[in-house]
Amino acid sequence: ADAAASVVKIIEGAGGKAIAIQAEATDAAAVKAAIEKTVATFGGFDVLVNNAGTAIPKKFEEATLEELDRVIDINVRGTFIATQAALKHMKNGGRIIMIGSCVGERMMTPGLVAYAATKGAIKMFTQGLSREVGDRGITVNNIQPGPIDTELNPAAGEWAVPQKANTALNRYGSVDDIAAMVAFVAGPEASYITGASLTVDGGTNA
């Protein structure tokens, strides 16, 4: 909550308008309510970024069914829930942006089998949905990060060594690297890009 509030203050300080809403990504009612509150506050809905995601790194045969369900529920079901709810309010010319993963296209990191499968699903969801909403001028794109320094995947963590070694730049990326691509895809310059998977991975998949 504190982190969300600080983002709101930064936006307001720059002259923008912002609200922070708490909603569990797998709770359909909570997500729907969050989108409806957004529409009521701003008078419409233009851009959805499906950023909620998780991974539980371990060998697939050692993963519990509960762990597998958790990864699927957030990464796939949660994306379905938010996208369907947003489309009911989205204006023509809107933007739907998925945060997939470079391992959804090329898999080189043991321990991320289930995660990679969900991100591969998001890639195909992006392509299929782009065909359905194109006549409304809505674009649907999938940004595929490589190793990014976050709380879930810290650059100093034990899982970082093989991920860093797989990059061409020999380093982790930052959240700003991904945010820059999100901002571009959400903007007018990207109006003819849809159904695309745009990889920002430091050369991991090169």
Q: Nearest-CA neighbor of 96 among 52, 140, 143? A: 140
74-80's contacts with Cβ under 8 Å and 24+ in sequence apart are 74/25, 74/26, 75/115, 75/118, 75/119, 75/121, 75/122, 76/118, 76/121, 76/122, 76/125, 77/26, 78/25, 78/26, 78/31, 78/50, 78/52, 79/50, 79/52, 79/122, 79/125, 80/125
Set 115, 143, 181, 194: catalytic member: 115
Judge whether 172 counts as a catalytic residue.
Answer: no
Is-contact 57 112, C-beta < 8 A?
Answer: yes
Q: Which two tokens stand for residue 199?
A: 């990889």
Q: Which two tokens stand for residue 121?
A: 């699903």
Give dist(CA 187, CA 176) in Å, integer: 16
Secondary structure of residue 44 in the 3-state scheme: coil
Residues belonging to the active site: 115
